[in-house]
Amino acid sequence: MKKIVIEKPGDYRELKIKEVESLIPNENEVVVETKAIGINYADIIVRWGLYESAKQMIGWPITPGFEYSGVVKSIGTKVTKFKVGDNVLGVSLFNSYATEVKVTENFLYPLPKHMSFEEGAAFPAVFLTAYHALFQIVVVKPGMVALIHSAAGGVGSSLVQLCKIFGIVSIGVVGSSHKVQFVKDLGCDFVIDKSNENLWKKVEEYAPNGVDLAFDANGVETLKQSFNHLASCGKLFFYGAHSMFPKTGGKVNWPKLIKDYLRTPSFNPMNMSHLNRSLITFNLSFLFDKNEIFSEAMDNLLKWYSEGKIKVSAVKSYPFEDVSSAHKELESGKSIGKLILIP
């Protein structure tokens, strides 16, 4: 088998393909021959050596990747849910950038009949993130208003669709004009193109009483204003800090990173209680020991997919050997939807 290995922090040159022995499953494990592999911004943070769970759990060298689809190649003696030849999609705690992935069967799911391998690899991570934020942390009600930054990205486009299912009014924010129609087509109620519109004036126009939910993976660039535009009882979700990182070159700009880190707003709980607003943060990679969270989410998500209520919004494929180009595009901020690798 082949896998992509990062031996030390760095730019695209650290993404190296290595030939290793094929995987052998333990008694409750399944080996999947991957047909497609999802790429997430977290993989880039892993490559830079800045992803906390990767540092704590794996170290160097590391094979990144959280999601994939493929065909069951072999199973352990106690596996009951799958058989050799089944088409599946799944999640893993890293190690998905490979032609074979080995996981316990509880992190695998049957690939829906009308879902392609490419769509299957693009589905789990972003929809799990969106579902966990929207349905497993807070209580949501129809008529709430949600501000969704990076609405054309993987998580953002998933949030737009899930909000639509539950009657939550969505305000999507995009960074360039070519993304506007894509987000509108997903059913977003209002779309703000911050490249040529005043972001916060438009938010105030669409939500004069503030937003109930604000989903922000930008970090310092928008975090404070996202909080300031919450309604009473509003919740700010922080799950990334993309604006702190470079869009070109593949290397961390350490002076900028340090400056932005120091500029990141802090939230005093006393002030938050007076304002009646909340800050919520999470990272799914620290939840792999709580299988019930993944199972509940994936059962509902795959059901909604089969019913046509949600879809994999956009997929662009790269050959396995061209992983560097895929990382470059994702870093640029110009991509729409999800990027995947094809072994």
End-to-end Cα distance, the chain:
10
In the predicted model, residues of the chain with pLDDT beneath 70 are: none
Are 215 and 148 in contact by the 8 Å Cβ rule? The answer is yes
What CA–CA distance (Å, rounded) separates 63 from 16?
A: 10
Are 337 and 154 in contact by the 8 Å Cβ rule? The answer is yes
pLDDT at 25: 98
H and E: helices and strands count for the chain: 12, 15
pLDDT at 313: 82
**DSSP assigned state of 133:** I
pLDDT at 124: 97
Beta-sheet pairing, 190-193 with 211-216: unpaired
Could you tell me which residues are beta bridge partners of residue 62? 6
CA distances in angstroms from 93 to 52, 67, 122, 285, 290, listed in the order given: 13, 9, 16, 7, 13
Which ranges in the chain are annotated with CATH 3.40.50.720? 138-281
What CA–CA distance (Å, rounded) separates 60 from 6?
A: 7
For residue 55, what is the enclosing H or E element?
helix 52-57
What CA–CA distance (Å, rounded) separates 258 from 4?
A: 29
pTM (two decimals): 0.94
pLDDT at 293: 92
pLDDT at 260: 92
For the stretch 191-217, pLDDT in tens is 999 999 999 999 999 999 999 999 999
Domain 2-124+305-342 has CATH 3.90.180.10: yes
Domain 138-281 has CATH 3.40.50.720: yes
